[in-house]
Amino acid sequence: MSDVLKKNYDFKRYNRDVVVDNNHCLQYVKKQCISSEEIIFTLHITNEVLKSWEDFKGKGISLNFSFVEILNYFLAEKYAILVKKDCKRIEEGLRKLCSKVKSGFKGKSGLHYLNFASQSRSFAIRAGEILRASDLEIELCKLNTAKVALEKENAALQKRCDDLYSSLVQEEELRRKINDSLEDAKVDLQKLEKENANLCKYFDKISELEGFKNCGKPFSEVKGRQQRRKIRELKTYVEQALWFAETFGLKLSSVKFNDDEGVSHTIDYTIEDRKKGYKDLSEEEKEKVQQVLYITDSFCIGEAAYHEFTMTEGGEKLPRSYLVKQCKNDLNSLCHITRTPGVAEGAQMNLESELRNTIKQQASFYYYL
């Protein structure tokens, strides 16, 4: 019997109100020779019990229970007898009887109600409507077969659950790794976006510059001095533009251009032709640069004027202006000269620092001796 039925119906209260007639021998139930249509016993059920069955069936929780199931609980507990669950005659008879009894309670109260409730109704049970031992064995065999099938299905479902759980654990681990990778990718993306923004700003800044744009006349329309100047500028720009060639293991050797008149111009990038610093010069070349610096300082010739002078015809034989400038900076680094205070022009040196440097030099000289 279902636990729900046992829990929601008070069988103990009505246990004595369902009685099997003693005039019929219950031993007939065990006999196989009895006709299935023969009445083997009669039930006596009080009106109060029948009304309680009708009320119980009216509840939503008990809609799935039949009158035969409720009757079987009483018979099994008290007489160890069971009626077939699919017996339509008993089910329909009990349904009509319960409905009729409940209608009979209407309009009664007090003593009339109690007298009517204590009255009994009889219901005959035939031999073919009782579950025999053989029927119970068949039912038990079916239940065992269903049990084995359910156990196999349960084992398969358990294995399936274990596999699904393992897959879920793996997917969870994969999801965690993907989330970690996603977080790292977000960090890298933010860095790239920041670098890209800086590059965009740099590109916009370069785009605004027009230093590489030739705003003058074409090369073939200018004179020799201007052509040499343009060649020098172009040489620098080409070297800057082709800086990436060294990443391929290649070095720029020369570049050849043709002007509008078809004349070719070759720019050489050999080592001998590359720009040298003042410190890379020989002693003879340094002395020549120092002599030029002495003349420019003596006659107050500015750096821009000297540069223009080197760009004239024959000026290519003179030391480059940047070498003269480097020589000047190198000589200036030997001592620190500042402007004299006041309006008058003049220069001065710090006595303390010069005296300290001289003493250090003398001390080094005696140390080597």
pLDDT above 70: residue 365: no
Burial class from Cβ neighbours inside 10 Å (0-12, 13-18, 19+) for residue 290 reads middle
Do residues 2 and 101 share a domain? Answer: yes
Confidence of residue 169 (pLDDT cuts 50, 70, 90): very high
Question: What pLDDT band is residue 83 in, cutting at 50, 70 and 90?
Answer: confident
Spell out the residues 6+ positions from residue 136 whose beta carbon is closer than 8 angstroms to its own. Answer: 82
Tell me what the mean pLDDT of segment 141-151 comes to: 90
Domain shared by 261 and 162, yes or no: no
Smallest CA-to-CA distance from 329 within 272, 289, 369 is with 289
- The answer on 49 and 117 residing in a single domain is yes
Query: Residue 175 has what pLDDT?
Result: 92
Q: What pLDDT sits at residue 149?
A: 92
Quick one: tokens of 180?
């970690």
Shared-domain flag, residues 185 and 299? no
DSSP E strands, 147-263: 254-258
Q: How confident is the model at residue 30 (pLDDT cuts 50, 70, 90)?
A: very low
First-to-last alpha carbon distance for the chain, in angstroms, is 123
Segments forming the whole domain that contains residue 196? 132-212
pLDDT of res. 146: 92
Q: Please say if the pLDDT value at position 24 is more than 60.
A: no
Q: Last residue of some domain: 99, 131, 163? A: 131
pLDDT in tens, 221-255: 888 778 888 888 888 778 777 777 777 888 888 88
Question: 91 and 119: one domain?
Answer: yes
**Do residues 68 and 145 both lie within one domain?**
no
Count: domains in the chain: 4
> For residue 238, is it within any domain?
yes
Closest listed residue to residue 125, CA positions, set 24, 16, 14: 24
Residue reference for tokens 């046992």: 6
pLDDT in tens, 253-300: 888 888 888 888 888 877 554 556 788 888 888 889 899 989 998 888
The whole-chain average pLDDT of the chain stands at 80
pLDDT tens-digit profile of 49-65?
888 888 887 776 555 77
Residue ending a domain, among 75, 99, 131, is: 131
| Residue 161, pLDDT above cutoff 90 | yes
Computed over its alpha carbons, how large is the radius of gyration of the chain?
60
Residues 153 and 143 in one domain: yes
Of 155-159, 161-165, 313-317, 354-358, the range with the lowest mean pLDDT is 313-317
Whether residue 294 sits in one domain with residue 246: no
Q: Is residue 275 part of a domain?
A: no
Residue 219 lies in a domain: no
Residue 179 structure tokens: 């989330």
How far is Cα 329 from Cα 210, in angstroms, rounded to an integer? 30
What confidence tier does 159 reach under pLDDT thresholds 50, 70, 90? Answer: very high
